[in-house]
Amino acid sequence: MSQSAPFRYADLFAGIGGFAAALNGFGGEHAYSVEIDSPAARVYALNWGHDPLGDITQDATDTVMNVGQHDILAGGFPCQPFSKSGAQKGMDEIRGTLFFNIMEAIQARRPTVVVLENVRNLVGPRHTHEWAVIIERLRAEGYQVSETPAIFSPHQIDPSFGGSPQVRDRVLITATRVPDGHVADPIVDPVTLLPEVRMHREWDLAEDLPLEDAQDVPGTALSNDEITWVEHWDKWVQVMLALRAADADAAGEPARRLPGFPIWANVWVISPKERNDLMHPGGVRVPAWKAVFLEKNWYLYDRLRQADPRWLATWLAKTRTFPESRQKLEWQAQDETSMWNCVISLRPSGLRVKRMTHLPALVAITQTPILGPRRRRLSPREAARLQGMPDEYDFGAQRDALTYKQLGNGVNVGVVWNVLKAHVERDRELLLATAKGRSIYTAISSAPAHPTERVRRALRQSLDFVPTH
C-alpha cells in the first residue's frame, strides 16, 4: 500500500465501479476487484486502471484465496436462497452461494469494515432466513452489525450531499470488526442518515439532476410507435380532464383529478356477457383487487360513452390496434394536464405517468424512461448522473443499451458515500481502537459532504490502463 493511502479495498461484484468511485474518493487504494461481466469489467478498467474480469467463485474458496489483503470489503451481491436443512450449519449453510465466497474472503483477510449492498427484497418475507444467516455469519466472524435492516435511496439524500432524483431502495449492510478487548453491541442500531443529509423539499428533475437541455441527444429519440402511443393517450387525458371538470362543476365541487386506478381500455366492453367472462375467466372469479379495477373501468367507460360516444368509438378503435400493454394507462401525475409534461415509463402493465420530480429506479431489464418535456428518453449521461457518476466517467464506445444495463445493475455513489460516513460515526469507538480503524475513520469522516469532486480527482489520478481481456 502506498504510504499516503489510508486504506486498501476489495471490490467484489465490481460492475462498472460504483463502489470504487466512492472508495477512491475517500482516498482508498485498490487491492482487488472482480467482475464476471466482460463489458462491465472493460468500463471499470477504463476508469480505474484495474481489469477486474474474473470469477469470485474461483478466487475465494475454501482452498483458493486470490483476494488481496484489504481493509474495507465492498460488494453488491446477488440475493440467493440458502440451505434450510437443519443438518447444515455455519459455512456449510451458505455453500454454493456467492455469499459463501464473500465470507471466505472475510475469513481469510479479516477486513476492518464490510459494506454490502442488495435489493430491498433481501429483507422481505421471502428471505427472512437468508437475512438471519447473513447477520449470524458476520457476527460469528467477529463483526458488529445491526440485525435491523437499513434501507436507503438516492432520493432521500439532499443533492448538496450527493443525492439524486431516483427512487432506488437498497439494503446496505455495514459491519466493523470488533478489536481485541472490545465487545460488539448485540442490539446495535442500524446506520441512519443525519437530518441535515436528508432531502426536505420536492425534487425538480430538470434542475437537480440536471437534465441536458437538448431534445436531439443522440440515442434518445422516440420511435414513431412510442410517439403515437403517447399522443393518443394524451388526447384521452384532455377529454377526461374536461369531463372531470364538467362533472365537478355540476356537483358544485372543486376540480377533480384524473382517476388513480389503472385504466384498462382493453376491457372496455358493453355486453353483460363479455363483462361476466372477464370477471369469471374459465368460470372462476378474478381476485378481489382485480374485480374492483374491472368495475371501476366499466363505470368509467360507461361515463365516457354517455358523454361523447362518437369520439370514444373512434379513439377506442385505434387503441385496439396497439399491443395490449399499450392499451393501459397508470396515471400517477396528480394535477398535471398533459403526458408531455411528465415522466413516462413504458411498462408491461401499461404507460405509467409521473410528475417530473424524480425517476423510478434504473433497472437492467426495463426500458429507459421518457422525459415528456424533452420528448426523448433519458440519456446515458443523465442515467450516469442518477447513479452519482461524474460526467468524466468514461463508458467507451459501447452501445448505449449496455451502458443503461450496467448503470441499472450498479450502486449509487452518493448512497455509498453517505452510508459509509454514517457508519464510521456509529462505530467510531471500535474504529478508533486500532491504527487501521483510525486511518479509515479519519479518511471517511473528514471527506467533503458531496462526493463528486473527490471522485473526479480520483479519476484523474487513476493510471492509464489498456484492458487485456
Please indicate whether residue 342 is annotated as part of the active site. no
Is 300:331 a contact under the CB 8 Å cutoff? no
| Cβ-proximal residues to 275 (8 Å cutoff; 6+ apart), any chain | 269, 294, 298
| Cβ-proximal residues to 351 (8 Å cutoff; 6+ apart), any chain | 229, 230, 233, 326, 328, 329, 330, 339, 344, 345
Is 421:413 a contact under the CB 8 Å cutoff? no
For cell 470504487, the residue is 20
How far CA 395 is from CA of 40, 45, 125, 275, 404, in Å, comes to 9, 10, 37, 52, 10
Whole-number Å distance between alpha carbons of 29 and 308: 68
| Cβ-proximal residues to 442 (8 Å cutoff; 6+ apart), any chain | 6
Rg of the chain, C-alpha, whole Å: 26
User: What 8-state DSSP symbol labels residue 189?
Assistant: P
Query: How many degrees, rounded to 5, is the angle at CA 104 between CA 101 and CA 105?
Result: 90
Query: Contacts from 250-259 at CB under 8 Å and sequence distance 24+?
Result: 257/334, 257/335, 258/331, 258/333, 259/296, 259/300, 259/331
Longest CA pairwise span in the chain (Å): 82
Whole-number Å distance between alpha carbons of 399 and 39: 10
**Helix 38-48 vs helix 18-25: angle between axes, to the nearest 10 degrees?**
20
- Read off the amino acid at residue 417: W
Among 334, 407, 345, smallest CA distance to 371 is for 345
Q: Which of 74, 79, 184, 420 is catalytic?
A: 79
Whole-number Å distance between alpha carbons of 336 and 180: 60
**What grid cell was written down for 397?**
464506445
Whole-number Å distance between alpha carbons of 38 and 15: 9
Q: Which residues are known to be catalytic?
A: 79
